[in-house]
Every structure is written in structure tokens, then in C-alpha cells.
Amino acid sequence: MKHNCHHDIVTPDSFDPDGPQHFQTEEEAAKFALEQTTARAHSGEPAAQYALALAILHFGDFPRKEETAVMWLKRAAAAGHVPSQLLLKDL
């Protein structure tokens, strides 16, 4: 009997209420995670706003990326997110 081995990348259950998502590549998983984080940031979740700001600062490659990251940090900081407040002081 031949065993068909799949090496799918599985995200944590927390990303999807219907269960884990399966991806064929790390790039697909990263894209999905960024989409989920962006949606949560837009819904007002401070931790997601902070995570999105960090992703933009470290991996963003577009004009005005610093300005965009600072915008997300300010939103999270205004909601009382301490790591965002501290990072804003360092920028």
C-alpha cells in the first residue's frame, strides 16, 4: 500500500471558527495570516493593530510604510495597548 504524504501547513484553530486551515505553501499561510490580522486590526483589536504595524515596519515594501505603521500603533496605543505606547516613544 502506497502512503501519500502531504506536508500541508496548518494554522492554529484560532484563525477560523470552523477549524484549522490547510495551505500548500508557507507563502499561502503567511498571506492568510496577514489578511486575518488586517481584518482584526480594522475591527479595532489593539493587539492586531500592533501586530500589523510590526509587519508593516519589518516587511512592508511600499511608500509611506512608516506613516501607515505609526497610524496603526496610534490606534492601538489610544486603546491602552502598552507595547504600542512604548514603541511609539521609540519611533
**Taking the CB of residue 84, how many other CB atoms lie within 10 A of it?**
23
Residue among 43, 55, 37 at smallest CA distance from 79 = 43
The answer to whether residue 15 scores a pLDDT higher than 80 is no
Contact criterion met (CB below 8 Å) for 8 and 23: yes
Which residues lie across from 22 on neighbouring strands?
Answer: 10
For the chain, the maximum distance between any two Cα atoms, rounded to a whole number of angstroms, is 61
Contact criterion met (CB below 8 Å) for 23 and 32: yes
pLDDT tens digits along 32-70: 888 999 999 999 999 999 999 999 999 888 889 999 999
7 vs 45, residue with greater confidence:
45
